A and B are shown apart, each in its own frame.
Chain A
Amino acid sequence: MASSNVPVLADFLDPRVRVNVASALSESLRGRLPKAIKLLNGDRFDSTPVDAVGRQVSLAHLLHLNRQSSEALTLLDRILSSDLAGLPEEIRLVIEQNRIDVCFGGGWPAPDEIERRYGQVDRRRLLGINFREGDALSDAAEASLAGNNYDSLPVYNALLFQAYRSFNWLLTREMSGHLCRELIRLSQSVQAGFCAILSESKEVAHLVADHLRALNDASVVNSVVEKIAECSHLGRHITCACHFLEKLGDAIPDGSIALWIERLKPARQLPCTTLAEDWAAQPAWKATTLLLEGANTPVAQSVIDEVLQHRLWGVNGIARHRFYEVLEAAAAVVGKAGCRSLIAAVIPHVIANKPDHDFREALQLLVSIAERWPTLKSEIRKKVYRRGRRIPHLLVSAAPFFEQTVKLGDAKGAVHRAIAHLRLQVEQLAPGATPTTGHGESIVQNKPTKAGSVAVKIGSCMEELGVLIQYRKKLSGSLKHGLVEGVIDMLSNPENENANRTSLFRTLRSLSDSVDAKTARKIADIASRYASDHRAIGHPLYGHQEQHSPLNPIRMGLSWPQDVRGEALLTLAQLSRYHRHLVGPKLVTLILAGVADPNAAVRRSAYHAVHLAGPHARLCLPVVVGGIRDTDASAANVALQVVGVQAVAISKLKLVPTVLTFLESHCRHPDVGVRRAVAAVTRQVRAALGGRKNADAERLDTLVEKLRADVSRSVRAAVSSEQGAPGNGAPTRASGQTKLKSQKTKKRAQKARRRDRPLTIR
């Protein structure tokens, strides 16, 4: 385990100085930084010059933890420029590493600082010093995995102690993280929460939050949140707490909302002129978004005011981008007056002659407000749609929602233009030629070929097609036929990407309610081909990979063959509503094959397809009921939503007892998305049973009681009312557990999805 022969700074200090160092950290953790600083500035107990070094390094630590990087750096430079009162080289190396910690934690370090860090690493290696106890950590990890926590926990504890006593901040953080993971495994949640804050790690904070959501025990959640509130006062700890709250989401206890909104205020109000400020502010805004879900009107209004007065709000669309999520969350809480002030602030960014980067988000916010307050629709409409003004595609798409009539003008020309633009989605290029852009593409992929290259534009034309879909009823049959043919051509193009194929299938799905039999047949043919087993020889996407190689570090949020297959299945299901004869029993066969597919994405779509097809896939309902127990949480979630929507049919098929059994086992599911869906289904099945009093009804009542005690606000809301509950319409893919993509990739994918489809009302 720990190397006994490596000198540690604590061993050189007067014991009373050591007590005060520990006390200072403890005080500052609890929000009493001035007292801690005073304690460390006092030299009452210094018995040798080394004590002053220990106190100053500790002081630098507190300043660093509070994001006062320049003060910490000045202090450390002063310490390092001395001879460290004759302390050994190993201790100098630790202090040097702490200095690098400060340097790298305070924004982009200067190139010479990077060089300095590399030099430090080399010096350590040459001296044969390894701060990390690799063998001990590895042994402890193995013991922990084998369930021998009595062996691993003491090791993690001892390593944390060793790191702390060495004054090695980086290692203390790391070891706190290891100890936290171990404590989570041992269900010592409060202690784990404390260690998560000490670890300053986003990943570790998320682990604690995930553990709490899965544990679903309100008293434990309260205790942990209280502990974290008690010891998160320094800047870096507050950031870590933000990550925790962000992940805890709607399980944040209502009682702590006001406290956290207030505590995050200084971080939110940072002007974000430096990277370090941005690192502190961004998580604070994210956490605030989640906190607002449980906030009251004055608190939400105060956050809106903060946003509108923030320096970045007046800068540009890119800077404003970060605020829309929080504004949307606040808009869902504040009253009409508050929303009016928000509309006034946002309208200029929607009607600007040259749309800024936040145009889409601003419009989405207006849609959200209008959705909540329908009476505000006309106010928004009057401001957004002004007679004679040319408006972008997105506003045209949103016009029906705002009950605004927009003249499409030359429909034929619009369709022909859209087809022409769509054909450019995959463009053959001669060597040296540049691809045509400007049709809403998010990424342009260049694939070299023998004759030059092929440029594939991901997400191009989707806004343009969105407008045509919105006005599809006004298009003639032949125009729609041409449009469908154009879409199918592009969809079948072997050079095209699956990301585009999924979007194009969505386009076909949207058109399916207004096409004639001839066009519908074309859609049915192509959808049937793609909805079959994508691993079978003969499928157009046969041989495509289903996921990124685990060794591939570049993970673009593009689509996979299973996504295309799922969209094709949904298209076919939608089409069956209007052209049953064209789809027939083929749909049921494809759905059943989809439900049995090993890939969760296909199963999700298959369950969803049962809902879309309605009575034409009733045969598949028992399978969907079975899908509630799907091993994949997001697939189970969709199956639950379909069961909820089809509650009446389920009741008629006498499947309610089976459903209830599954709901009872799932009401404590670790995935909050599943529990939310369980809550919604419980309510829907209760409604489907009417006022009947029988054994099923009693079981439902018990279930409701259990769900009302859930830690997640959304679950409690879902079981109690229609508001905020999923499963009222088409199934969504929301799941609290889906972690397959990184946050960044997820966001990119969300963005891409938003671009891919016409604006939807959320």
Chain B
Amino acid sequence: MAGSGALRLISVDRRARLKALRDGVEPIFRNRLHRHFTDHSIEHCDRVADLCGRLLSPLERKLNDDEGFALYGGAYLHDIGMHNEKAGESGRLAQVLKSEGRDWAKTGFEDRLEIIRRNHHEISADMVIASVRNGAPPIGFTLGDNDRPLEIAAICEAHCVDTAAARYDSLMPKPEQPTMRLRLLTAILRLADILDEAHHRAIVAQAQTLDLSLESRMHWWRHYYTREVEIEPVKNRVTVVFRFPASKHDDYGKLIPALQMPWVEQEFERHRAVLAENGLSWHLSWVVQEAPFDTLEQMPPDVESYMLQQLARRKQLAAYKSRIDLLAQFDASRAHLLAQLHAVEAESTNIEPAEYLRRVLRLTRDLLELGSDLTARTRLKSALFFATSNGRTVVSALHVHAATELARMDEHQDPRGAVTGLLSVLKIAEALPDGASEKVPFYRALATLALRAGAFAEGSAAAEVAIRLIGDVDEAENIRAEVAEATLFEGHSVPVAK
């Protein structure tokens, strides 16, 4: 039975009814259909109920009797569907199977177990509903209308539904009822459920006598090393405590928490808002406890390898997701900039060529910054051509500036185009006064790009001009370094630095 912390939350009457409920469901939990799974017995329900109580202890407005009974009812009933071998004969599962033309009686044992595991939250909910005012209740206990069966069923079903899914929302009343805070109750149950993934559920004797799959063994060992959960209401802190064999302290320390904690952290994150609304601000952490003596066993190497694989897979997935996020961000930003670009282009014939070129330059620079290299290059190239052909002209400084920007954009995609583009405005650049701010960047770009593209003569000549014009001594040294490197690949002797 749940600890005193939990029982304290509800009235004596309800406590008695809860005890009766627990006694009623316990035989069903002994079915243990999923023998290869970690423990889903009545003890798990007890611990979940206890954790619920501890998690709710700092609650500002305490639960009322109905809420308390719904929560604890959920604690004892959320996994009951896992133990119902006849699940396919009634409820929503029966309807689904019928629509798929499948016969539960003819479904193999392993398939049945898998179906039950996948749908156990719905089965639990259906069993709860079917037990209302029923003389032969499938949960082993007849629920009355005062037992808030609908809320219990909702909590049972919601304990495994994605919080972002529409179904989750449909199970929760909108807005949250002040007398039945179902979102809070569900959140607490889900957190308690996940926090109970600890060594109590990894029973050594069972593991030694069952032929477990690698996947099951991984979960088993993961639970085994999760020793306890410390809940400190004063510090608003929930700490998951791990302990490992001394010889593997460091190895497992990098592996098990990394495998275990993200799930727990994600679950807390999902319910952060609803917890905060109710004055709960749990901070989650973990710690590896060092014991002077330990009798903990090392996990087999194949399980450790499997865990490492799982961890790597999870990180790969996260990296992929991050790339997809980046792509989504890129698409959105690019669309925004393109819309602006289209607007400018639509105005191209109405505004001065120089103004048009300036606006395109600004937008293409933004596009380039965003990573849209090709669009930026082609759009700037078109704009430069448009603004300087068919009798249209722009001031020399802007022309040189735009050509320099374009060459910088072309550098990595089209080294020849970059150099020829710059050479095509060489005469214009030469005619600019030495003090013109566009002149140094032009020669600087021409020097770098020509030297890298193998146009040594043009590159060296441009480097000389750039060094003469440039005020920055460091930048001049950089140009000299580029000339030295190009000289090397020309097959000439390279003088030492002075």
Contacts and interface: CB of A to CB of B under 8 A. Distances in A.
Most buried by B among A10, A19, A150: A19
Contacts of A191: 490-491
Interface in A1-20: 1-4, 10, 14-20
Contacts of B484: 18-19, 22-23
Interface string B454-498: 110000000000000000001001101100111111111111110
A150 B454 CA distance: 11
Most buried by A among B412, B492, B496: B496
A58 to B, nearest CB: 12
Interface of A: 1-4, 10, 14-20, 22-23, 25-27, 30, 39, 45, 150-151, 153-158, 160-162, 164-165, 190-191, 194, 227, 231
Given A15-B481, A39-B496, 20 more contacts: A4-B412, A15-B480, A15-B497, A20-B496, A22-B488, A23-B484, A23-B494, A25-B488, A26-B488, A150-B416, A154-B419, A154-B454, A155-B415, A157-B489, A158-B452, A161-B451, A161-B486, A164-B488, A190-B491, A227-B491
B414 interface: yes
A158 B477 contact: no
B453 A154 contact: yes
Interface of B: 411-416, 419, 451-455, 474, 477-478, 480-481, 484-497
Contacts, number: 94
What 8 A-B pairs are tightest by C-beta distance, nearest first? A157-B454, A154-B453, A15-B477, A15-B481, A18-B481, A16-B497, A19-B497, A26-B494
B497 A23 contact: yes
B485 A157 contact: no
B452 A157 contact: yes
Contacts of A162: 452
Most buried by B among A15, A45, A165: A15
Nearest to B456: A157
A16 B452 contact: no
Interface of A is mostly: helix
Contacts of B477: 14-16
Given A154-B419, A164-B485, A22 B413 contact: no
A161 B485 contact: yes
B415 A160 contact: no
Given A3-B412, A15-B480, A15-B481, A23 B495 contact: yes
B478 A23 contact: no
Interface of B is mostly: helix
Nearest to A26: B494
A757 to B, nearest CB: 48
Given A154-B419, A161-B452, A19 B494 contact: yes
A14 B481 CA distance: 9
Most buried by A among B474, B478, B487, B494: B494
A18 B485 contact: yes
Contacts of A165: 485
B480 A22 contact: no
Contacts of A151: 416
A190 B492 CA distance: 12
A164 B487 CA distance: 13
A157 B453 CA distance: 5
Given A30-B493, A158-B452, A4 B411 contact: yes
A22 B487 CA distance: 9
B497 A154 contact: no
Contacts of A157: 415, 452-454, 489
A18 B484 CA distance: 8
Contacts of B494: 19, 22-23, 25-27
Most buried by B among A3, A26, A153, A156: A26
A624 to B, nearest CB: 47
Given A19-B497, A161-B485, A164-B485, A2 B412 contact: yes
A158 B415 contact: yes
Contacts of A20: 496-497
A226 to B, nearest CB: 11
Nearest to B414: A1
B87 to A, nearest CB: 43
